[in-house]
Structure 1
Amino acid sequence: MSEIAVVAISVAKPGYEERLREALEGIVGPTRKEQGALQYDLHRDMQEPRRFVFFERWTSQEALAAHAKSAHITAYKQAVADWVEHAEIRVVSKIL
């Protein structure tokens, strides 16, 4: 399968912005070391600071699936469950 991209959005509940930011920053390093990770960049929405956005690129769907099952992502999801108001993950393929 060809390279895929992901846009992952997490919106913090009011008052949890900095906790969520720290937790998200904590998964960047381990994820960038994963096999198949080509890009894993964290951004914060300038208009809505509770919204965090990852732009990701993976070598394959299999690499992304392994990432989703990794220990650091599993621990992250458990840690932030009460801090996140909304989360959305979009897997996309490049057209041009």
Structure 2
Amino acid sequence: MSEITVVAISVAKPGHEEQLRAALEGIVGPTRKEQGVLQYDLHRDVQEPRRFVFVERWVSEEALAAHAKSAHIQAYRKAVADWIEHAEIRVASKIA
């Protein structure tokens, strides 16, 4: 089992920036209480304010998979489906 780092990017559709921001902020607290989370930080792109970036660290792929299945993440995905123009998730394993 090795540590997993995730960079998750969500780009809001024009006019939905603040709705998406509020929804993203709403999942920070519950996620930080999950077993296996080491870091879960939300950022907003300085040059493109429609772009939000999570930098996450998890103890394992299993912990990340459990996070994806959590009730608050499932509810979040349903709530924001019409507000997101583009989403990308990159998962990397720590090597050094």
- Under TM normalisation by the shorter chain, which class is it? over 0.9
**Please, which runs of 5 or more residues in structure 1 have no aligned partner?**
none
Please say if residues 9 and 52 of structure 2, whose CA atoms lie closer than 8 Å, have aligned partners that are also in contact: yes
Mapped to 1, the partners of 2:15 and 2:7 lie a distance apart of 24
Aligned positions, number: 96
1:29 aligns with 2:25: no
RMSD between superposed Cα atoms in Å: 0.6
1:13 aligns with 2:13: yes
Q: Which residue of 2 aligns with 1:85?
A: 85
1:94: Cα distance to partner?
A: 2.7
Secondary structure of 1:43's aligned partner:
strand
Please give the TM-score of this superposition, normalised by the length of structure 1.
0.98
Mapped to 1, the partners of 2:91 and 2:66 lie a distance apart of 14
Within 5 A, what are the aligned runs for 1:16-95? 16-95=16-95
**Please, which runs of 5 or more residues in structure 2 have no aligned partner?**
none
Please give the TM-score of this superposition, normalised by the length of structure 2.
0.98
